[in-house]
Structure 1
Amino acid sequence: MGHDTTQYDRRDDVRYGLGDPRGPDFLSPPPPRTWPQDDPFRRPPPSEPWALPAYDEPRRNRRGGPGRAVAAAVIAALLAGGVAGGVAGRVTAGEPFTGLSQSEAGPVSAGTGSLSDVAARVQASVVSVEVRAAGARGTGSGFVIDRQGHVLTNAHVVEGGGRVTVVLADQRRVAARVVGSDQALDLAVLAIPAQQSPQPLTFGRFSAVRVGDPVIALGSPLGLQGTVTGGIVSALNRQVRLGEGGAGTALQTDASINPGNSGGPLVNARGEVIGVNTAIATLMRGGSGGSIGIGFAIPADRARQGAQRLVR
């Protein structure tokens, strides 16, 4: 069923999901197939992950043919553009890199704090990431990770280069540079001037995360900066494939995640980052559906280690 988009003030020059829908592919075991064997889910023709029918959004050439089958009964769409190639060049952000902070706390206990209080504490550190290239503008999310002005996002958000702008929570627009990106991890680090950087967020420990823990996802879905959605940790160690063939485990959540959330933080009830929002599962063949309550995030430990490698 098509979506009625007449109520949305969408701009034709803004792309809320760059590139073709891809990964994560479920590796083992795949869900049981519920569609006829002669009509398996296949990679869709070139389209945007959020291609609403009333708008003729600009399209991006895709790599690979449309006949490549997806092994699972559901396909998951990256929430912004295709992954940037390789590891990009390194650009320093001014002050010496001092490492990323990580909490020593254990599992979150009941009554730790209201999610509204958590959102109020962390929102200032969450940013919108705009990438303008070849006449189109893509929007993703990110968050500040240290006091030197480094911002973590997904590699696929900054695919293709172009001018990168970070929009802070107070609506200040700051020019940013790509410090480095890793296509296998689907992580990228940006640099903004340290004197203009908000306070950094603290990474939690994946070992302290439990199924059922309350979480909130923050970011700019469809360009709506400052959006906060809530849910729980639905599963741990979900076997998925992210980025350009990078296989690993992801954290699954039912917090609403949509195109534009890519690179934003998934935080626990203490305000610690436990994951980087990266992908959603969708039942639509075109990969253009929104959240169905199955979202995936790169675990905090892997994101923190990857970010430190890119900065150093």
Structure 2
Amino acid sequence: MRDPHPRTGLGEPRGPSFFPGRPRPRTEPPGPPAPAAPPPSHATSHPPSTPQPQPPPPHPTRRPLATAVLAAVLAGGLAGYAAGTLGDEDPAPASAPAARGPGDLQAVAARVLPSVVSVRTDRGQGSGFVFDDRGRILTNAHVVQGSSRVSVELQDGRRLSAEVIGDDPDHDVAVLEPETSRGLRAARLATGARPAVGDPVLAIGSPLGLSGTVTSGIVSALDRSVRLGEGSRGGPRRALQTDASINPGNSGGPLVDDEGRVIGINTAIATLDQDRGGSIGIGFAIPVGDAVESARTIIDGG
């Protein structure tokens, strides 16, 4: 029987990219109009008449709040706005916006992008990232399969020739040594930390040939059993699962946490159509500890 959820490497480029938007600024909705002031009284020579009961002053209706809740449910883009406006009716004055912290994903992307490269071969294209102070680059074995030299393109537009100093098809890891390390900056590696399900992550790379693309998601699961690479001779390996959108061309690029540390190498996706595979929100990354261990073996000539 054909596997209904085949897994595939991320190979030839095709399709669009994704750019995260900026958060909508918070604004406060206008409050209910104040009741009209009563007319001034006038002196009269007639005996006072029996006072008529006056209707109670109008109270603010809750209907606009119910409408806002409904709008938040029907239009998810407004949910943040609605959540900010359904609290106290007399809010405190707005304070200055808080400074961006290390967990801000836009700052994380800006910090990691200079370490990410596009990898081009005669067969196609993938991604990679600088992982040590000598400027060496980690990528997937299936990206450089059959190549002894490749071209790498940096975020500043420079192109360098790089030697494939070795690969490990069983773990789908390869190491590249560029012609120069000038201007190359190593990414931080989370080799001593273990991610948790629900942690926010960014996938960075060149999906579909579009370099410098950043997508966001979470760690969906740990220790998934996945067969890695196209030339693997071993059995299934453990992998991180993420819903961050990854597509052909993301292979070899980093999956990073909200502190900008690499936790994995994006390497495969689950797809409903193996011939026209694309992201369906189930992607897999090699844990960075496993990848670095394999890379050290390659470098040492083991």
Once the 2 structures are TM-superposed, how far is the Cα of residue 304 of structure 1 from its aligned partner?
Answer: 1.1
Q: Deviations over 1:144-198 (max 9, x none)?
A: 0112120000000011226410000011000110011011010000001343341
Q: Which residue of 2 aligns with 1:180?
A: 166
Once the 2 structures are TM-superposed, how far is the Cα of residue 226 of structure 1 from its aligned partner?
Answer: 0.3
Counterpart contact for 1:147–1:194, Cα < 8 Å: no
Q: How does 1:132-143 map to 2 (within 5 A)?
A: 132=122, 137-143=123-129
Question: What SS does the corresponding residue of 2:189 show, helix, strand or coil?
Answer: coil
Structure 2, unmatched stretches of 5+, are 13-100
In structure 2, relative to structure 1, the CA distance for the partners of 1:203 and 1:284 (3 Å cut) is same
Q: Which residue of 2 aligns with 1:122?
A: 112
Q: In the aligned structure 1, how far is the partner of 2:201 from the partner of 2:274?
A: 29
Q: How does 1:162-201 map to 2 (within 5 A)?
A: 163-201=149-187
Q: In the aligned structure 1, how far is the partner of 2:243 from the partner of 2:227?
A: 19
> Identity percentage over the alignment?
56
Counterpart contact for 2:149–2:164, Cα < 8 Å: no
- TM-score normalized with structure 2 length: 0.66
Structure 1, unmatched stretches of 5+, are 1-39, 42-71, 82-110
The correspondence for 1:307, drawn from 292, 295, 298, is 295
Question: Whose Rg is larger?
Answer: 2
Q: Which residue of 2 aligns with 1:68?
A: none
Once the 2 structures are TM-superposed, how far is the Cα of residue 310 of structure 1 from its aligned partner?
Answer: 1.1
1:254 maps onto 2:243 in alignment: yes
Once the 2 structures are TM-superposed, how far is the Cα of residue 296 of structure 1 from its aligned partner?
Answer: 0.2
Q: How does 1:1-312 map to 2 (within 5 A)?
A: 40-41=1-2, 72-80=3-11, 112-132=102-122, 137-161=123-147, 163-205=149-191, 207-243=193-229, 244-246=232-234, 247-286=236-275, 288-312=276-300
Q: Deviations over 1:191-225 (max 9, x none)?
A: 01343341101211375200000000000001100
Q: In the aligned structure 2, how far is the partner of 1:285 from the partner of 1:123?
A: 30
4+ residue segments displaced more than 6 Å: none
Matching residue's letter, 1:140: G
In structure 2, relative to structure 1, the CA distance for the partners of 1:168 and 1:285 (3 Å cut) is closer
Matching residue's letter, 2:105: L
Question: What SS does the corresponding residue of 1:257 show, helix, strand or coil?
Answer: coil
Higher-helix-fraction structure? 2
Question: What SS does the corresponding residue of 1:80 show, helix, strand or coil?
Answer: coil
Matching residue's letter, 1:233: V
Matching residue's letter, 1:73: P
